[in-house]
Amino acid sequence: MMEKFNDSIEHPSSPTLPKQNDFIENSGIKSCILIIHPREKVHQITMTVYVAMDDTDNLNSRGTGKLARAVAATLSREYNVYGVTRHQLFVDDAIPYTSHNSCAVIHLPYAEKQDVPAIFAIAEKCMLGDFVEGSDPGLAVASANQVTPALIAFGKDAKANVLTQETARNLAQNLDIMLKGLGGTEDGVIGSMAGIGLARAGNDGRFLQVGRIRDITGLCTAAELFEAGIDAIITRDGRQITEGIIEAPEGKSVKPCPIGGWIVLIVDERDGHLIPVKRD
């Protein structure tokens, strides 16, 4: 049975979005600290350790996202866990992948570089204990201050280009990042390094786990989602939703995204119905 996450971070009951220009003008790396939500500013900018994994499954096994949530549950016994994000990588015939070619990243706020070896050891043990034949897993762990523009660029490149293990390993060595292949061809080291860059840069992927969103499935109110940890619900055309019923599929939870340092759920309004959008 999976243990519950430590949920020591308070969630606002009545979120207010930043002005539209804040998302546009401050979306770059240099100025992103100006728009980070107050509860996230410290751990997303200076005090977060990222645990990234990729290529951990085969066509008949549990997915990488489920494994990441299990590893996060184990880590939560000793560290605060903010959430788990999924990041879509390049899909191309030249890249061996199981079904979607995505990696997963666990965010550990308040952890620092000195904690990285212990965190890596816990994650490695969990992953080896659930190794799947035919998989090519990789594991990377880094603190926020180890993530340079080069690694962020690598993550962005991994969404549109075929990259190599050699580049990933050289990057890890030059940045003093712990990286290891845990079986098979070890191609997962590529996606693991990319995941750290994408998670640190923000504005990419979606949450697999954050707050209590997985406890709420099917039809739910906007108020329930705010209470569970979502900061804002918006439509694609920029309207903020503060009340109403969000119609997720039966048995499924909504999939908010990290946007501008916020936990944001995007919805479509169709004939008066609010339908959550599942974004890559």
pLDDT range class, residue 197, cuts 50, 70, 90: very high
* Domain-located, residue 106: yes
Final residue of a domain: which of 184, 206, 228?
A: 206
pLDDT of amino acid 64: 86
Q: Is the pLDDT of residue 44 over 80?
A: no
CA dist 58 and 98 (Å) reads 6
**Which amino acid belongs to residue 238?**
G
184 vs 178: CA distance, rounded Å: 19
Asked if the structure places residue 9 within a domain, the reply is no
The residue from 206, 230, 255 where one domain ends is 206
State the total domains in the chain: 2
Same domain? 62 vs 199:
yes
Phi, psi (degrees; rounded to nearest 5) at 222: -60, -40
105 neighbors 85 (Cβ within 8 angstroms):
yes
Placement of tokens 């009545």 in the chain: 14
What's the CA gap between 235 and 127, in Å, rounded?
38
Q: What is the separation of C-alpha 170 from the centre of its chain, rounded to a whole number of angstroms?
A: 24
pLDDT of residue 57: 59
Per-residue pLDDT band for 63 (boundaries 50, 70, 90) equals: confident
Mean pLDDT of 232-249: 96
Same domain, 232 and 105: no
- Residue 120 is predicted with a pLDDT of 98
Tokens 């890249």 label which residue?
Answer: 95
Give the other-Cβ count within 10 Å of 205's Cβ. 23
pLDDT confidence of residue 134: 78
CA contacts within 13 A on the Cβ side of 73: 14
The tens digit of pLDDT for each residue in 98-154 reads: 556 789 999 999 999 999 999 999 999 999 998 888 788 999 999 999 999 999 999
Q: What is the 3-state secondary structure (H, E, C) of the chain?
A: CCCCCCCCCCCCCCCCCCCHHHHHHCCCCCCHHHCCCCCCHHHHHCCEEEEEEECCCCCCCCCHHHHHHHHHHHHCCCCCCCEEEEEECCCCCCCCCCCCCEEEEEEEECCCHHHHHHHHHHHHHHHHHCCCCCCCCEEEEEEHHHCCHHHHHHHHHCCCCCCCHHHHHHHHHHHCCEEEECCCCCCHHHHHHHHHHHHHHCCCCEEEEECCHHHCCCEEEHHHHHHHCCCEEEECCCCEECCCEEECCCCCCCCCEEECCEEEEEEEEECCEEEECCCC
Mean pLDDT of the chain: 83
Tokens at 205, concatenated: 């992927």
Q: What is the pLDDT of residue 18?
A: 43
| Stated pTM of the model | 0.81
**Is 128 within a domain?**
yes
pLDDT of 245 above 50:
yes
Q: Could you tell me if 192 and 219 lie in one domain? A: no
Q: What is the reported pLDDT for 6?
A: 42
Instruction: Select the more confidently predicted residue: 23 or 108.
Output: 108
Among candidate residues 81, 1, 17, 41, the one with its CA nearest the CA of residue 241? 17
Check residues 45 and 57 and name the one with the higher pLDDT: 57
In a domain, 29, yes or no: no
Are both 150 and 240 inside the same structural domain? Answer: no
Domain holding 255, by residue range, is: 215-276
Among 188, 206, 224, which residue terminates a domain?
A: 206
End-to-end Cα spacing for the chain: 28
